Protein backbone atom coordinates (compact mmCIF):
# COMPACT_ATOMS: atom_id res chain seq x y z
CA UNK A 1 0.00 0.00 0.00
CA UNK A 2 2.75 2.49 0.91
CA UNK A 3 5.10 1.28 -1.84
CA UNK A 4 8.14 1.53 0.43
CA UNK A 5 8.58 -2.16 1.19
CA UNK A 6 7.33 -5.68 0.52
CA UNK A 7 3.99 -6.37 2.17
CA UNK A 8 5.19 -8.97 4.66
CA UNK A 9 3.28 -9.86 7.82
CA UNK A 10 5.70 -7.71 9.84
CA UNK A 11 5.33 -4.77 7.51
CA UNK A 12 1.55 -5.04 7.54
CA UNK A 13 1.21 -5.43 11.32
CA UNK A 14 3.89 -3.01 12.50
CA UNK A 15 5.40 -0.83 9.83
CA UNK A 16 3.15 0.20 6.95
CA UNK A 17 2.77 3.98 7.18
CA UNK A 18 -0.66 3.93 5.51
CA UNK A 19 -2.02 2.06 8.56
CA UNK A 20 -0.05 4.01 11.17
CA UNK A 21 -2.80 6.19 12.62
CA UNK A 22 -5.17 3.25 13.05
CA UNK A 23 -2.42 1.00 14.37
CA UNK A 24 -1.14 3.48 16.96
CA UNK A 25 -4.57 3.83 18.60
CA UNK A 26 -4.91 0.10 19.18
CA UNK A 27 -1.24 -0.27 20.12
CA UNK A 28 -1.87 2.19 22.97
CA UNK A 29 -4.51 -0.19 24.34
CA UNK A 30 -2.19 -3.17 23.81
CA UNK A 31 0.67 -1.37 25.57
CA UNK A 32 -1.57 -0.42 28.47
CA UNK A 33 -2.80 -3.99 28.98
CA UNK A 34 0.64 -5.50 28.39
CA UNK A 35 2.17 -3.17 30.96
CA UNK A 36 -0.39 -4.13 33.58
CA UNK A 37 0.07 -7.83 32.71
CA UNK A 38 3.87 -8.00 32.81
CA UNK A 39 5.41 -4.54 33.23
CA UNK A 40 6.54 -4.33 29.59
CA UNK A 41 5.33 -2.65 26.44
CA UNK A 42 5.33 -3.99 22.89
CA UNK A 43 8.38 -1.86 22.01
CA UNK A 44 10.39 -3.71 24.69
CA UNK A 45 10.35 -6.86 22.55
CA UNK A 46 12.28 -7.81 19.41
CA UNK A 47 10.38 -7.82 16.12
CA UNK A 48 9.69 -11.61 15.93
CA UNK A 49 8.42 -11.60 19.53
CA UNK A 50 6.19 -8.60 18.82
CA UNK A 51 4.57 -10.50 15.96
CA UNK A 52 4.13 -13.59 18.13
CA UNK A 53 2.47 -11.58 20.91
CA UNK A 54 0.15 -9.85 18.44
CA UNK A 55 -0.88 -13.16 16.86
CA UNK A 56 -1.05 -15.23 20.05
CA UNK A 57 -0.86 -13.45 23.38
CA UNK A 58 -0.25 -16.72 25.27
CA UNK A 59 3.26 -16.58 23.76
CA UNK A 60 3.97 -13.98 26.44
CA UNK A 61 4.72 -16.88 28.79
CA UNK A 62 7.74 -17.73 26.62
CA UNK A 63 9.14 -14.24 27.03
CA UNK A 64 8.30 -13.07 30.52
CA UNK A 65 8.44 -15.02 33.77
CA UNK A 66 5.58 -13.26 35.55
CA UNK A 67 2.36 -12.68 33.66
CA UNK A 68 -0.98 -11.70 35.16
CA UNK A 69 -3.18 -14.45 33.69
CA UNK A 70 -6.36 -12.47 34.29
CA UNK A 71 -5.25 -9.82 31.81
CA UNK A 72 -4.55 -12.22 28.94
CA UNK A 73 -8.15 -12.24 27.64
CA UNK A 74 -8.07 -8.43 27.57
CA UNK A 75 -4.74 -8.52 25.72
CA UNK A 76 -6.15 -11.08 23.29
CA UNK A 77 -9.16 -8.83 22.71
CA UNK A 78 -6.94 -5.89 21.73
CA UNK A 79 -4.55 -7.92 19.54
CA UNK A 80 -7.52 -9.45 17.72
CA UNK A 81 -8.96 -5.95 17.30
CA UNK A 82 -5.66 -4.78 15.81
CA UNK A 83 -5.59 -7.56 13.21
CA UNK A 84 -9.27 -7.06 12.37
CA UNK A 85 -9.04 -3.28 12.02
CA UNK A 86 -5.82 -3.38 9.98
CA UNK A 87 -7.29 -6.02 7.69
CA UNK A 88 -10.46 -3.96 7.17
CA UNK A 89 -8.49 -0.82 6.46
CA UNK A 90 -6.30 -2.67 3.95
CA UNK A 91 -9.40 -3.97 2.14
CA UNK A 92 -10.89 -0.46 2.02
CA UNK A 93 -7.64 0.97 0.73
CA UNK A 94 -7.27 -1.67 -1.99
CA UNK A 95 -10.89 -1.26 -3.12
CA UNK A 96 -10.44 2.50 -3.36
CA UNK A 97 -7.26 2.08 -5.37
CA UNK A 98 -8.90 -0.48 -7.65
CA UNK A 99 -11.88 1.85 -8.30
CA UNK A 100 -9.56 4.69 -9.24
CA UNK A 101 -7.57 2.43 -11.53
CA UNK A 102 -10.75 1.24 -13.31
CA UNK A 103 -11.96 4.79 -13.78
CA UNK A 104 -8.64 5.56 -15.40
CA UNK A 105 -7.75 8.06 -12.73
CA UNK A 106 -4.50 8.37 -10.90
CA UNK A 107 -3.60 5.75 -8.34
CA UNK A 108 -1.64 8.34 -6.42
CA UNK A 109 -3.11 9.19 -3.03
ZN1 LIG B 1 3.35 -0.44 3.48
The model's pTM is 0.87
* Domain housing 30: 9-107
CA 15 to ligand 1 centroid distance, Å: 7
- What is the pLDDT, as a whole number, of residue 108? 54
Reported confidence tier of residue 101, pLDDT bands at 50, 70, 90: confident
CA 76 to ligand 1 centroid distance, Å: 24
Task: Give per-residue pLDDT as tens, 27-85.
Answer: 999 999 999 999 999 999 999 999 999 999 999 999 999 999 999 999 999 999 999 99
CB < 8 Å & 24+ apart, contacts of 80-83: 81/26, 81/29, 82/13, 82/23, 82/26, 82/27, 82/30, 82/54, 83/13, 83/54, 83/55
Distance CA 106, CA 59 (A): 43
In a domain, 2, yes or no: no
- Structural domains in the chain (count): 1
CA 3 to ligand 1 centroid distance, Å: 6
In a domain, 1, yes or no: no
In a domain, 36, yes or no: yes
Amino acid sequence: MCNTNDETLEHFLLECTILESIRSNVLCDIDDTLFRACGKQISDFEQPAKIQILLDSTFLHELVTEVDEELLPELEHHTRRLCYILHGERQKYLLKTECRRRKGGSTQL
